[in-house]
Structure 1
Amino acid sequence: MNILIALIPAIGWGIQPLILKKIGGRPVNEILGTGIGTLLVGLVVYFFFTDQSLSLGTFMLAMASGAFWVIGQTGQYMAFNLLGVSRTMPISTGLQLVGTSLIGMLLFNEWAGTTSRIIGFGAIILLIIGAALTAVTEDSSNKSGLSKGLIILATTSVGYWVYSALPKLVDASGAAIFFPQMLGVFVAALIYVLFKQPTALKSDKSYKAVIVGIIFSISAFAYIFSAQGNGVATAYVITQLNVVISTLGGMFILKEKKTPKELRFTLIGLTLIVVGSIITTFL
């Protein structure tokens, strides 16, 4: 049963970008729908699963965590249009893992000991090489789009890093901080849309994308129980299937074209990213 629960975030986060691109729309539509969906699931969790009260400071810190996630996710949605899902997801995942691993080491002393740090830095090198390989393209006409997409991912991935780091500063369970995190996602998404393109509030594309937010947040909530039942390391390793699902789905479901060389490099890079992430988990 615990393994089945662990597969929920792996599959959910893997199919999330595929469904998003099938729905269509601009990043403002996508992030608004995602925000609404996360709020709906957050409310359900708050009323039926939360049994721990939070201080105002903890509540606000959890909200800030969710708000920073919107920065990373918006950047990812923008990159989808420039790079495609099959190229964006492994690059984004690699950047997330590099950042969160370094933050864990520098701020939370998670890689204690010289051996752990040497192995950890080796894993980071694998992640960087893997992400670089998935970005290889033989299409010279899209060099500017590739550069722009990489810059967007590199700068907005900071949002994912802060999203992952802030909950480590509070003494509360993942289930307890889940609602304020999802509330933070919704508020930040709404503010972004109001400043960027308020007309997205009237677009049917925005409300179709609610399903993506529901999938994301159910997957995130399932991960909490997976970590409890399987252990953090096992749960995290299983979730890494999501990048495999989304990358292959981008190629075979969304029909994103790759030359034989690009496909070969993508598969090698994907393997390095998964191996690197597994190594960082067991340190």
Structure 2
Amino acid sequence: MNIVLMLLPAIAWGILPLAVARVNGKPINQIFGTAIGTLIVSIVVFLIMRPSISITSFILAALAGGFWIIGQLGQYNAYRSIGVSQTMPISTGLQLIGTAFIGVLIFGEWASTNAKIFGIIGILLLIVGVSLTAKKDNKAPSNNQTRTVIMLVLTTIGFLVYNSIPRAMTSSGLAIFLPESVGMVIAVLLYIIFTRQPQVLKEKASWQSLLAGFIFSIASITYILSVRDNGVNSAFVISQLSVVLSTVGGMVFLHESKTRHELLLTIIGLILIVSGAIVTTIF
């Protein structure tokens, strides 16, 4: 059962980009459906588990959920611009690099000399891996690709805040799942209001994207349970295999084409990204 719990988050998070990309809608439709789907599942989980949480923790968790929307909206936009198979390695690598730096600067990780050495090696592996997966054959990056990568760098801040806030809270796990989803929905609705897109609420693509929220919820819940049963390091490292599944899936199921050389660089880049995740986490 422990092995199943370790693998389920990777499988669900790996499938999520493929499910989203198959919805014939705009990123705003996809993010709305994802948030609403997550809220539905979180309410069910709350009614069954009845976890307790303070008002302060509820607000902080909701804030984390709001920042998650920023990061995920960046990903969803990138799927349309450069494809899932290129977006996911870049986005995952940026998150791993940012999370490592936050762990050192804010939470005092890598205290020993060995930890610092392996941590730096891990970050270098991540940087090289991201660079390889972003490389295109015999041509400079297009303006579209450059703008998309810059957008991913900026919106990754949302993911970093989303991952960091729970680490500073006394409440964690399933207790914060509902407030996070509430924050997600509030953030999406505010985005819809400020961008003046009320039609999103009744468009078919928005409600088709509920499936993405259900998939994300499965990943989140099983990851929380995996951390409980297998420990943070093992659960986190195995979950990063999702980038392999989503990247390969983008090429196989979404028919995103790469030259033989680009495919080789992508495979090497994925190996380096997963290796970097292992080095920065385990050592």
Find out whether 1:9 has 2:19 as its counterpart: no
- Residue pair 2:121, 2:279 contacting (<8 A) in 1 also: no
The correspondence of residues 207-222 of structure 1 with structure 2, limited to 5 A, is 207-222=207-222
Aligned-partner Cα distance in 1 for 2:151–2:57: 30
Q: Secondary structure at the match of 2:256?
A: coil
Find out whether 1:108 has 2:143 as its counterpart: no
Q: Secondary structure at the match of 2:106?
A: helix
Q: Give 2:198's aligned amino acid.
A: P
Could you say which residue in structure 1 is the equivalent of 2:189? 190
Q: Which runs of 5+ in 1 are unaligned?
A: none
Aligned-partner Cα distance in 2 for 1:241–1:39: 26
Alignment CA distance shift 1:57-1:81 (3 Å): same
Find out whether 1:72 has 2:71 as its counterpart: yes
Could you say which residue in structure 2 is the equivalent of 1:277? 277
The correspondence of residues 165-244 of structure 1 with structure 2, limited to 5 A, is 165-196=164-195, 197-244=197-244
TM-superposition CA deviations, 1:242-278 (whole Å, max 9, x none)? 1000000001110000011110110000100000001
TM-superposition CA deviations, 1:136-159 (whole Å, max 9, x none)? 112749611110110110000000
Task: Quote the offset at 1:76 in angstroms.
Answer: 0.5
Find out whether 1:254 has 2:254 as its counterpart: yes
TM-superposition CA deviations, 1:106-158 (whole Å, max 9, x none)? 10012111221121011011101101100011274961111011011000000
Q: Give 2:262's aligned amino acid.
A: E
Q: Give 1:59's aligned amino acid.
A: F
Could you say which residue in structure 2 is the equivalent of 1:162? 161
Could you say which residue in structure 2 is the equivalent of 1:92? 91
TM, length-normalised to structure 2: 0.97
Aligned-partner Cα distance in 1 for 2:17–2:211: 11
- Residue pair 2:58, 2:176 contacting (<8 A) in 1 also: yes
Q: Secondary structure at the match of 1:254?
A: coil
- Residue pair 2:166, 2:172 contacting (<8 A) in 1 also: no
| CA-based RMSD | 1.3
Q: Secondary structure at the match of 2:22?
A: helix
Task: Quote the offset at 1:179 in angstroms.
Answer: 0.8
Q: Give 2:236's aligned amino acid.
A: Y
Q: Which moved more, 1:8-17 or 1:43-52?
A: 43-52
Could you say which residue in structure 2 is the equivalent of 1:144? 143
Task: Quote the offset at 1:24 in angstroms.
Answer: 2.2
Aligned-partner Cα distance in 2 for 1:94–1:142: 19
Q: Secondary structure at the match of 2:171?
A: coil
Q: Give 2:90's aligned amino acid.
A: I
Task: Quote the offset at 1:33 in angstroms.
Answer: 0.5
Could you say which residue in structure 2 is the equivalent of 1:245? 245
Alignment CA distance shift 1:139-1:49 (3 Å): farther
Q: Give 1:145's aligned amino acid.
A: N
Could you say which residue in structure 2 is the equivalent of 1:61? 60
Aligned-partner Cα distance in 2 for 1:123–1:64: 30
Find out whether 1:39 has 2:39 as its counterpart: yes
Equivalent pairs, count: 282
TM, length-normalised to structure 1: 0.97
Aligned-partner Cα distance in 1 for 2:141–2:207: 31
Task: Quote the offset at 1:57 in angstroms.
Answer: 1.2
Task: Quote the offset at 1:193 in angstroms.
Answer: 2.0
Could you say which residue in structure 1 is the equivalent of 2:130? 131
